[in-house]
Copies of this chain bind each other. A is one copy, B any other.
Amino acid sequence: MDFSHPHHRQLMADNLGRYLSQHYPIEERHRISQSVAGRSPQHWAALAEMGMIGALFAERDGGFGGDAFDIAVVFEQLGRALVVEPFLGTLLAGTAVALAGGHDERLGEVIAGNTIISFAADESMSRFDHAAISTQANSRDGAWTVTGAKAVVSHLEASDLIVVSARTCVSPGDERIGLFLVASDAVGVTIRGYPLIDGGRAGELTLNDAPAIALANDGLAILELATARGILALCWEAIGIMDRLKHDTLEYLRTRRQFGAPIGKFQALQHRMATVSLEIEQARSSAINAAVAFGDDRVCRERAISAAKFTIGRIGTLVAEEAIQMHGGIGMTWELPLSHYAKRLIMIGHQLGDEDHHLERFMKLRAAAPA
């Protein structure tokens, strides 16, 4: 029983934390977030150089890590610094490519930071359900094209490649979902980019007979596992954010004076802050459980993943809302970093399934779970 990280992983996390605190302060983050690109090629190159993309992938896939806890420590640091670079899309799409196999060279370019890859699974009506999509793939003479629309794809404009999910069969009753690789500059690809309320940019993807490379004809299992890793990443990003919100709020309670005393002297706030603190520890435990569960069978893993995303969603909302409330008006200003952390934390609940989605999923998976 050991809850500390092995030396090499802790070292990597510390390295990343040091880089970000030195080179990615909140002013830099805002500058990047509000830029036309919504990302920073310079930082991306530097972080790739440091091995932070490689940390997300196993050695057999050309990376230097890929363990669940590698993902955890990297995203925890990204959360602390509120980084807007395309790590999540890289993890999701890169995992899908790796699991499908046969694209080592492309993956190598992704890990090297030379290719930006994004992940387009959600659609306007799919509501976090990978199977509830209508994008259609067609093959003619062994060549595939894809037609449909994908919603809110992170860093879409910056992408060179896009992993797209699409139905691979038109016969009724056949629900196979395939995975495809589409070049962002291919014919039939239309991209509309826009900023996000939680920073950085995303876009709407329209595909009109766009040429595509098939990664997997029947890709739901790959989608599920890639998504599980994405959820793990979001959970740890949220942990990093919550720690920061807790830190800032405690500091504010200690220093802000009203009625002749630091507001942290007021018991009603103290007790709520105690609740916030203990809930954050519960959230951290759920994120640990999710990481550990990658060693278990599918049902156990997916239950732990859904339990973690539910927990992070519930507690994240509590932490964000309490952090703002305890700060009062100042907590609602653009100027305070806190408000941006709070926005990102809330919006993590809008990615890869919300509280209700994962609670229901957890319940449905119960039947299949061992007693």
Contact = CB atoms under 8 A, between A and B. Distances in A.
A275 to B, nearest CB: 11
Contacts of A270: 268
Contacts of A267: 266-268
A268 B271 CA distance: 7
Interface string A239-279: 00000000000000000000000000011101100000000
A267 B220 CA distance: 53
Q: Is the interface of A mostly helix, strand, loop or mixed?
A: helix
A54 to B, nearest CB: 49
Nearest to A271: B268
> How many monomers of this chain does the complex have?
2
Contacts of A266: 267
A266 B270 CA distance: 12
Interface in A267-301: 267-268, 270-271
Nearest to A274: B268
A260 to B, nearest CB: 15
Interface string A330-366: 0000000000000000000000000000000000000
A267 B272 CA distance: 11
A127 to B, nearest CB: 20
A225 B268 CA distance: 45
Contacts of A268: 267-268, 270-271
A263 to B, nearest CB: 11
A259 to B, nearest CB: 11
A268 B270 CA distance: 8
A327 B265 CA distance: 24
Contacts of A271: 268
A322 to B, nearest CB: 14
A267 B265 CA distance: 10
Interface in A151-165: none
A2 to B, nearest CB: 37
A266 B267 CA distance: 7
Interface string A164-204: 00000000000000000000000000000000000000000
A191 B157 CA distance: 76
A267 B266 CA distance: 7
A179 to B, nearest CB: 38
A270 B268 CA distance: 8
A353 to B, nearest CB: 23
- The CB with the most chain B CB atoms within 10 A, among A266, A268, A270, is that of A268
Nearest to A265: B267
A267 B270 CA distance: 10
Nearest to A269: B267
A108 B303 CA distance: 61
A270 B267 CA distance: 10
6 contacts: A266-B267, A267-B267, A267-B268, A268-B268, A268-B270, A268-B271
Closest 4 CB pairs of A and B: A267-B267, A268-B271, A267-B268, A268-B268
